[in-house]
Amino acid sequence: MSLKMRCAVLLALLSSPTVMAQTFTFTAIPDEDETQLRTRFEKVAQYLEQQLGIEVKYIPVKSYSAAVTAFRNNQVQLAWFGGLSGVQARRLVPDSQAIAQGYEDQFFKSYFIAHSSTEIVPSDNFPNINGYTFTFGAKNSTSGRLMPQFFIERNLGKNTKDVFKRVGYSGDHSRTIAQVQAGVYQVGAVNYKVWESALANGKVDLAKVNVIWESPAYPDYQWTIRGDVNATFGKGFSEKVTQALLGMTDTDLLSSFPRQSFVPADNSDYEPIEDVAKAIGLID
């Protein structure tokens, strides 16, 4: 082969999307303390890099909506979303797919927590929280806003704004716990996993705040991948990412979520979340 032909072949190879040096990027909804998130997902980036054989980078974001925007704009190709943010992202990006969820995410739940001064007794029945101050988590949180609002309105028969003396949005589950514990709000709704982690880590004072009600189960967190990754990273890349996530067995890595394992997920798993979001007016 002549030098000219060899140069032409080399140029073609270098311009091919399947062999060009690419960085695979992902993000996650900021549902708790930023330091914990960075520690968790930088470990995930290292794991995926080993499994996929390409550079993988975690990109932190400041809000749930920023995670959805980064996914829509192809600033990230993969995201750890909550149920609602995943629905929102997949509606914006054609052919994007939910590919894996935590085992526990098949039957997730919210805890309603209350400051001890309310003297609300824990019960299997939905509590009478009329007239109290109340904080959700982030406005687009599934476990901290969407499903709690649904359960409040279904059980009390009126709009949330007509239930409480004052309503807030803490921004994440860790802050919800801290605000209710401090008495800034009397009642709040949190992701049960964040509550259990905070309790285990000594960040909850049960003399000041406790769980008063546990919600029915619903589908929540999942990994969602863009539909165009195979065109960018090569044939079968989406399946490689899926298998890497499903094959995550390192107990230290899994416990940082915390999840016992990851299992397959599908867009249809989150139709109930989309239906609820439509019913209470969070999406069209």
Q: What pLDDT, in 10s, does the model give residues 71-111?
A: 999 999 999 999 999 999 999 999 999 999 999 999 999 99
92 vs 73: CA distance, rounded Å: 10
User: Which pLDDT does position 21 carry in this prediction?
Assistant: 53
Three-state SS for the chain is CCHHHHHHHHHHHHHCCCCCCCEEEEEECCCCCHHHHHHHHHHHHHHHHHHHCCEEEECCCCCHHHHHHHHHCCCCCEEEECHHHHHHHHHHCCCCEEEEEEHHHHHECEEEEEEHHHCCCCCCCCCCCCCCEEEECCCCCHHHHHHHHHHHHHHHCCCHHHCCCEEEECCCHHHHHHHHHHCCCCEEEEEHHHHHHHHHCCCCCCCCEEEEEECCCECCCEEEECCCHHHHHCCCHHHHHHHHHHCCCCHHHHHCCCCCCEEECCHHHHHHHHHHHHHCCCCC
Amino acid 161 reads K
Q: What is the pLDDT of residue 231?
A: 95
Residue 32: predicted pLDDT: 79
- What's this model's pTM, rounded to 2 decimal places? 0.86
Task: Give CA–CA dist 88/65, Å, rounded.
Answer: 9
Strands 97-102 and 166-169: unpaired
Mean pLDDT of the chain: 92
Whether the CB-CB separation of 44 and 253 falls below 8 Å is answered with: yes
For CA atoms 244, 253, 179, 28, the dihedral sign is negative
Q: Which residues of the chain have pLDDT under 70?
A: 1-21
CA–CA separation, 265 vs 100, rounded Å?
5
The first and second tokens of residue 7, run together, are: 């140069």
What's the confidence (pLDDT) of residue 19? 40
- Nearest residue to 56 (alpha-carbon basis) of 43, 46, 67: 46
Contacts for 239 with CB less than 8 Å, ≥ 6 apart: none
CB-neighbour burial class of residue 172 (10 A; exposed 0-12, middle 13-18, buried 19+) = buried
Q: Report the b/e string of 80-92 with b at 16+ CB within 10 A.
A: bbbbbbbbbbbee
Which residues lie across from 110 on neighbouring strands? 191
Closest CA to 283 of 106, 137, 146: 146
